Chain A
Amino acid sequence: EPEVTQTPSHQVTQMGQEVILRCVPISNHLYFYWYRQILGQKVEFLVSFYNNEISEKSEIFDDQFSVERPDGSNFTLKIRSTKLEDSAMYFCASTLGLVTDTQYFGPGTRLTVL
């Protein structure tokens, strides 16, 4: 069964550093999402992406965040200057088309900011 993959599984960085989290969505999917889950808290929506542009973003997704689909397979989330409170599990998801389609989630990247 096709799956969404994410790399790395765990990223440790110093406060103020830039990080790039990578995701490979399912190959024929068209909609892509990033979520985060701070330890012990709910999964929070960050951004949705379609047709090479952001469809929707939450208030969490400020100027420090950006997303890109640099080629036909990768979907990246960049945090320009990490803060301690960015420490969380970050999930990528993709879906074929409409919301009625199933969102497939990756296993997540655990980001630790020191």
Chain B
Amino acid sequence: AQSVTQLDSQVPVFEEAPVELRCNYSSSVSVYLFWYVQYPNQGLQLLLKYLSGSTLVKGINGFEAEFNKSQTSFHLRKPSVHISDTAEYFCAVSDHTGNQFYFGTGTSLTVIP
């Protein structure tokens, strides 16, 4: 089975500052990795995913993440955040069947004007 750990439950950051949201996973098999964003009263929206190939993955809204197999991490970054980035961010992992997704507990990103 897989599991995901998001080390920071809340991350406040000033507008236009960079941000990194941390995600670590554990798995005995090869995995796919995902980051989702949840805006208030909305469902989860995919930001980006790592399936294979380049370890640096670019997603929507200027976010990117880097897969580090040796450190079993998949941290999410954005060089300059905007007020509209305030949301809950979830890291998720799946094995290659995709029948089960395992989510982290989420990180609440608050962008301060």
Residues of chain A whose beta carbon lies under 8 Å from any beta carbon of chain B: 4, 31, 33, 35, 41-45, 48, 55-56, 58, 91, 93, 95, 98-100, 102-108
Contact = CB atoms under 8 A, between A and B. Distances in A.
Nearest to B102: A45
B43 A91 contact: yes
B56 interface: no
Nearest to A43: B103
The 5 closest A-B pairs by CB, nearest first: A99-B98, A105-B43, A56-B99, A43-B103, A105-B44
11 contacts: A4-B43, A42-B4, A42-B105, A43-B103, A45-B102, A45-B103, A56-B99, A99-B94, A100-B51, A100-B98, A105-B36
A108 B43 contact: yes
B44 A91 contact: yes
Given A35-B103, A100-B98, A103-B44, 4 more contacts: A41-B105, A43-B106, A99-B97, A105-B45
B30 to A, nearest CB: 12
A45 to B, nearest CB: 5
B90 to A, nearest CB: 6
Interface in B71-102: 90, 92, 94, 96-102
A42 B100 contact: no
